A = this chain, B = another copy of it.
Amino acid sequence: MKTLFSIFLLLVTISCYAQTYESDSYVCPPCGNQCDKLIFNKASNCPHCKMQLIKKSETIKKNHTICFYLQDGVEVLDFAGPMEVFSYAGATIFTVSKTKQPIKAQGVLQITPDYDLKSAPPFDVLAVFGGNAGRAADDPEVIAWIKARQPTTQYYFSICTGAFILGKAGLLDSLTVTTFHDSIDDLKKAVPSATVLPNTRFVDNGTVITTAGISAGIDGALYLVEKFGGRDFAKRVAEYMEYDKWVPEQGLVVSKK
């Protein structure tokens, strides 16, 4: 069956390449199947996974690698919203936890991380999330790991109370930031030099982007896609997800990089 599918893929690939040139080629949004590697010459649906093809030139220009750090008890939508957005935008994603042991997200979803702290490859963006965030923020090993990875990390992205993890690593000092609506005062106490804004969907400080609670991770991730690939592309990602509720102006850009 695998051999048959490989032959089918080879034939489709040859046929597509024969008619394709870079400026108008189409690709399949990453779905984890072999069709992720195919290139098509017109807009249609992937014949294998049925997903709507996207213009290759419109995927995130630099294919960023995004590390999802997941602690035991992590809130499901905190990470799943951005995971959906970044996946469809063509980013490379992997999950990391303190160890390779399975964790239970929100007490209901058993997840096995791709890597532990030691084995995780380098990444461009470190994304951290709420839901039992103290499990990471109060763990000296996790904080030491975040600091040790600083030379190769370009951006930090926190959702909800994930901000407390970045705060503990000293990454929010003197910045304007946000977090979960019920944790605004606690974050002010945890990072006294930071200005913590309520009622702000996300805040971009150039390399540190923080979002409000839970569902706001979707908006923050769409903003990052806009930052990396332009608003038109981000809008198309939102349309694909049927998330016509994205209002880019609900965020605050303090500094771009």
Contacts and interface: CB of A to CB of B under 8 A. Distances in A.
B104 A32 contact: yes
A83 B111 contact: no
Contacts of A131: 31
A196 interface: no
Contacts of A132: 31, 49
A182 interface: yes
Nearest to A36: B107
Nearest to A95: B109
Interface string A202-241: 0000000000111110100000000000000000000011
A77 B73 contact: no
Contact of A87 (B80, B106, B242): B106
Copies of this chain, tallied across the complex:
2
Interface string A59-99: 00000000000000101110011011001000001110000
A29 B50 CA distance: 38
Contact of A75 (B84, B107, B180): B84
Contacts of A75: 84
A106 B32 contact: yes
Contacts of A241: 77, 213-215
Contacts of A42: none
Contacts of A161: 50
A152 interface: no
In this complex, the member of A30, A108, A213, A218 whose beta carbon has the largest number of chain B beta carbons within 10 angstroms is A108
A190 to B, nearest CB: 12
Interface string A132-173: 101000000000000000000000000001000000000000
Contact of A109 (B31, B102, B111, B240): B111
Contacts of A109: 80, 83, 95, 111
Interface of A: 30-33, 36, 45, 49-50, 52, 73, 75-77, 80-81, 83-84, 87, 93-95, 102, 104, 106-114, 131-132, 134, 161, 180-183, 212-216, 218, 240-243, 245
Given A213-B241, A214-B240, A214-B241, 11 more contacts: A30-B106, A31-B106, A31-B132, A32-B107, A77-B80, A77-B241, A87-B106, A95-B109, A102-B112, A110-B111, A245-B245
Q: Which 6 A-B pairs have the closest CB atoms?
A: A32-B107, A80-B80, A77-B84, A245-B245, A215-B243, A213-B242
